[in-house]
């Protein structure tokens, strides 16, 4: 296991001598609109930064939604990552992994570079219905440079009024429900619409985070991060999407998630009834 400081030193050693070889104004992953992301030119100035990244955590979240992006954000030398919860009490995920918050809603910096939320099932529905959580997200979202989520975390953004009029994605089981928050659901692994970056289900958090690293620093920096993580997915089965999975797998998983999708519809209806303020930003 390589600790964060050692990993960043190794990454710096990789980046510095190779900076002259980086290509400026590089076009990379296509957005849902068909327009390519255009990352800033690579330069030595991009190797370090001072980004403030606030990552919401809450009981019942899906741990990989958090840890995948967090591990990629940790490669950003000079950035500060805050794991933000209602209190500093330990937070247990839906896989019984416990995380210690490093900031509360009150102590998290007011002006964030990135505001992020992971997803889950019942835990996410609870967070998306919690007035304190929604108030925090709406407040920080009003000033954050980027507003982001992975998986069903987009439900939290939607309930906080942060996706109205924006293209967004989510886990396949609740993606279409985003329209109830005024969003435009897109079937894609990573969707960018202005300053909103959203990732699809769970493992898409790695793709999302690499896109964010490229956005914040450069494509070259993101590629070095990807290589350090040896992120080269070659799954043993072709069942990672409803478009490719066997029909019985899709049918059985859809049935298994029926209760969740019903609760998502109830969340959307309840949010609409409350008339939460919509935050139009960027």
Q: Is 174 a catalytic residue?
A: no
Alpha-carbon separation of residue 222 from 49, 52, 230, 252, 275 (angstroms):
14, 18, 12, 37, 40
Q: Which two tokens stand for residue 244?
A: 């490719």
Listed residue (4, 8, 6, 119) closest to 55, CA to CA:
119
25 vs 12, 17, 30, 40, CA distance in Å? 21, 20, 14, 6
> Token pair for residue 5?
């400081």
Please, which residues bridge with residue 20 across strands? none
| Residue in 108, 151, 174, 224 annotated catalytic | 151
Compute the Cα dihedral for 268, 272, 274, 278 and give only its sign. Answer: positive
Cα–Cα distance between 9 and 16 in angstroms, integer? 11
Between CA 116 and CA 174 the distance in angstroms is: 18
Catalytic residue set = 151
């Amino acid at each position: 296991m390589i600790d964060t400081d050692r990993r960043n030193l190794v990454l710096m050693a990789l980046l510095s001598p190779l900076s002259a070889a980086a290509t400026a104004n590089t076009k990379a992953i296509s957005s849902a609109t068909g327009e390519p992301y255009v990352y800033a030119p690579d330069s030595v100035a991009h190797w370090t930064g001072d980004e403030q990244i606030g990552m919401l955590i809450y009981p019942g979240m899906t741990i990989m939604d958090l840890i995948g992006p967090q591990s990629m954000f940790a490669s950003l030398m000079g950035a500060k990552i805050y794991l933000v919860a209602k209190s500093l009490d330990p937070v247990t995920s839906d896989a019984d992994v416990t995380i210690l918050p490093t900031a509360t809603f009150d102590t998290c910096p007011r002006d964030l570079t990135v505001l992020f939320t992971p997803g889950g099932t019942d835990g996410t529905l609870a967070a998306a219905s919690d007035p304190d959580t929604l108030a925090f997200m709406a407040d920080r979202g009003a000033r954050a440079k980027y507003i982001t989520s992975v998986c069903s975390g987009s439900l939290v953004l939607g309930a906080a009024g942060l996706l109205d009029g924006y293209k967004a994605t989510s886990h396949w089981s609740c993606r279409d429900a985003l329209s109830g928050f005024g969003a435009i659901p897109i079937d894609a692994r990573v969707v960018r619409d202005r300053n909103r970056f959203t990732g699809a289900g769970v493992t898409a958090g790695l793709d999302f985070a690499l896109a964010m690293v490229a956005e914040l620093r450069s494509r070259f920096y993101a590629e070095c991060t990807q290589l350090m993580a040896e992120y080269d997915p070659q799954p043993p089965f072709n069942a990672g999407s409803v478009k490719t999975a066997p029909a019985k797998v899709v049918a059985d998983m859809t049935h298994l998630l029926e209760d969740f999708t019903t609760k998502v519809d109830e969340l959307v209806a309840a949010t609409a009834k409350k008339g939460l303020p919509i935050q139009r930003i960027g």
